[in-house]
Amino acid sequence: MMLSRRQRRLSEMRSSAALALTVACAFQTFAAEGFRWRIDEVGEISRPGIDGSANLSAVAWVSNSTYVAVTDWNSVIWELNLPYNPETGRIRSCEMKRICSPELTVDVEGLAVDPIDGSVWLADERAGTIRQHNLRTGKARSGIVDIPKSLKGFRRDSGFESLSIAKDGLSMWTCTEEALKSDGPRATRKDGTDIRLSRFRRASAEKAWRMDGQWVYHTDSIAGYPWYNSKKRDISRSGISELCVLDDGTVLVLEREFSVVLFPRLRCRIYETDMYSAKNVIGSKNLSGLKDSEKVKKKLLYETVGFSMYEGMCVGPRLLDGSRMLVLVSDADKKSFKTVLSLRLSRICEAN
């Protein structure tokens, strides 16, 4: 069928508009300015005491009631079955079984399931790598993230601590636990620490990840008093233990602190971030001269203090009222309990 000049012109305009919309969506940096989420506590349950499963450092939702998690000290991937109440999000029980031991890993602290092909990406704190693995066999695949020099200057045992992939599979977020050596000191009782939230992007599952942005997040200072170990060394800390990117591009940050207030305690806080007006510091060798107004804004959504050191966090299934489950798992070393925490994540109508 022959089109008139006017019809061809309208068709070209529609195509251009569609292309512009596609490009805008593809390169959207993050959610619009403001805060728009709330968190309500549902409850926590204990995990089974299976040998080798105590120190869970990361968790990711697969489907329905199925999750995968990883232990840091022995680098084992576990499958968690967490049946839940679809109205409240309360987890009824927790079953765990061993899946595999991934190759070429030393101290895995971040885990994310690739929504495109079902593989798993693992962030190794000690090795300073982010690699792709087969979820069922643990065999390393060809995917490995090219880490720029600006992200390699981390302190000992304060390397990659988190990993989260957006639902479209085209953007990945990670960060270190505390500031890079070049970016400033660790957190103290007087001040927090500056951490680069780093985003990698790819055009498709076949393309390589490339870092395209870094935004500086300032953690809280240590609220308690020094925590001395048997060698009389202060081991009180405050930093980021996990990131979680939501469907709208918002990034949630899980901050973790251990210190002493009358007795040793573990303090975990979840913040919603607003990066709209934050400065992209990609390529910066250090953060000298960066103003507070150029850092990521944050809003406290949830806080818990006790004996559970939550280190892994992920979004789970949608509940009947439209809210989402937010699931946290604890790194149950000698100082903390083996627990799974269920929260409800709800959208607020208006940003504030």
Report all structural domains of the chain as residue ranges with CATH numbers, in order of start: 36-347 (2.120.10)
Assign 315 to helix, strand or coil: strand
Judge contact between 217 and 295, C-beta under 8 A: yes
Q: What is the pLDDT of residue 324?
A: 98
Question: Which residue, 47, 99, 93, 48, is CA-closest to 74?
Answer: 99
Residues in Cβ contact with 336 at an 8 Å cutoff, skipping those fewer than 6 apart: 266, 307, 308, 309, 330
What's the alpha-carbon Rg for the chain, to the nearest Å? 21
Query: Taking phi first (over 0 means left), then psi (-120 to 50 degrees means alpha), and beta for anything else, what does residue 11 get?
Result: alpha
DSSP assignment letter at 296: P
Q: What is the pLDDT of residue 210?
A: 97
pLDDT tens by residue, 29-70 = 566 678 999 999 999 999 988 877 888 999 999 999 999 999
Query: How many Å apart are CA 111 and CA 68, to the nearest integer?
Result: 9
Q: What is the pLDDT of residue 191?
A: 95
Torsion of CA 46, 50, 51, 56, to 10 degrees: -50
Q: Which tokens hold the place of 264?
A: 């040793």
Q: What is the pLDDT of residue 16?
A: 43
Judge contact between 214 and 159, C-beta under 8 A: no
Q: Which tokens hold the place of 175?
A: 């960060």
Query: How many Å apart are CA 239 and CA 186, to the nearest integer?
Result: 8
Question: Which residue, 70, 79, 81, is CA-closest to 97?
Answer: 79
The identity of residue 274, as a single letter, is D
Judge contact between 122 and 101, C-beta under 8 A: no
Q: What is the pLDDT along the chain (352 residues), one digit of tens a residue?
A: 444 555 555 444 444 443 333 333 334 456 667 899 999 999 999 998 887 788 899 999 999 999 999 998 888 999 999 999 999 999 999 999 999 999 999 899 999 999 999 999 999 998 899 999 999 999 999 899 999 987 888 887 778 999 999 999 999 999 999 999 999 999 999 999 999 999 999 999 899 999 999 999 999 999 887 777 777 777 788 899 999 999 999 999 999 998 877 666 789 999 999 999 999 999 999 999 999 999 999 999 999 988 888 999 999 999 999 999 999 999 876 556 789 999 999 998 655 5
Residue 8 parent element (H or E): helix 5-26
Residues in Cβ contact with 30 at an 8 Å cutoff, skipping those fewer than 6 apart: 249, 250, 251, 275, 276
User: In the chain, at which residue ranges do the beta strands (DSSP E only) sit?
Assistant: 37-46, 56-63, 66-71, 76-81, 95-100, 108-113, 120-124, 129-133, 140-144, 164-165, 171-174, 194-201, 210-218, 237-245, 251-261, 263-274, 297-306, 310-318, 324-330, 339-347
Mean pLDDT estimate for the chain: 88
Task: Please state whether beta strands 263-274 and 324-330 pair in parallel, antiparallel, or not at all (unpaired).
Answer: unpaired
